[in-house]
Structure 1
Amino acid sequence: MSTTFWITIAAAVATYLTRIGGHLVISRFERIHPRVEAGLNAVPAAVLTTLVAPAVLGAGPAEWLALIVAGLVSLRTGLLTMFLTGAAILIAARQFMA
């Protein structure tokens, strides 16, 4: 079998062990300290920031327009509406601003 296949399998196993390992460690505690809980609650926002920030910093006017509109829509509607509106604005802006 190819090297790529084994690398993919190794990455899948490592990802699975990392995810299940965190769950097993936390499940051993009867009570989680409030600071630990606050830190764990901050992880999704931190991960999202690390994914979005580089794209935003290198974005052009179409991306900024879509980001601003999606941000405003998110104040009034749900996640799906925000995503679809942002995607539609981005597609239209790239079409007409290019």
Structure 2
Amino acid sequence: MTLFDPYMIALILAAAIVTFLTRVGGYVLITQMGRIPPRMEAALNAVPAAVLTTLVAPAFINGGIDTKVAMALALAVGLRFSSTTMLIVGWVVAMAWRHFAG
């Protein structure tokens, strides 16, 4: 295998172009509308929660007990404190668990 596989480069460029066109297309579509319909606004507001779920759920399900405990404690902290505090608590718990429990 060569360092620069032409098929891999073509795939990366194609993915970049499709991603760019998708983002630009969404922007153009929304700017051309006079106003955003309520259903579209509700769908757009749901995107961050959907993306977060797709990132967190597999880690929770496939992770070990250290990951589950860290995520549960981070959730509890996140309900009361800032997201930075939540991130720090989750990270510290996971690292401490891995250090002391193996």
For residues 13 and 88 of structure 2, what CA distance do their matches in structure 1 show? 34
Runs of 4+ deviating beyond 6 Å: none
CA distance in 2, matches of 1:16, 1:80: 30
Percent of residue pairs bearing the same amino acid type: 45
Which residue in the other structure is 1:89 paired with?
93
- Aligned mates of 2:11, 2:53 — CA distance in 1: 28
Q: Are 1:47 and 2:42 counterparts?
A: no
Which structure is higher in RCO with an 8 Å CA cutoff and minimum separation 6?
A: 1
The structure 2 residue matched to 1:22, chosen from 20, 26, 37, is 26
Unaligned runs of 5+ in 2: none
- 2:15 is the alignment partner of 1:11: yes
Identify the residue that residue 33 of structure 1 maps to in structure 2.
37
- Give deviations 1:44-88, integer Å, cap 9, x for gaps: 111211222122112221011101111121122211221122111
Match of 1:66 in 2: 70
**Normalized against structure 2, the TM-score is what?**
0.85
Separation (CA, whole Å) in 2 of partners of 1:54 and 1:76: 24
Instruction: Give distance in 2, aligned partners of 1:32 and 1:41.
Output: 12
Show the counterpart of 1:75: 79
Q: CA RMSD in A?
A: 1.4
Instruction: Report the count of equivalent residues.
Output: 98
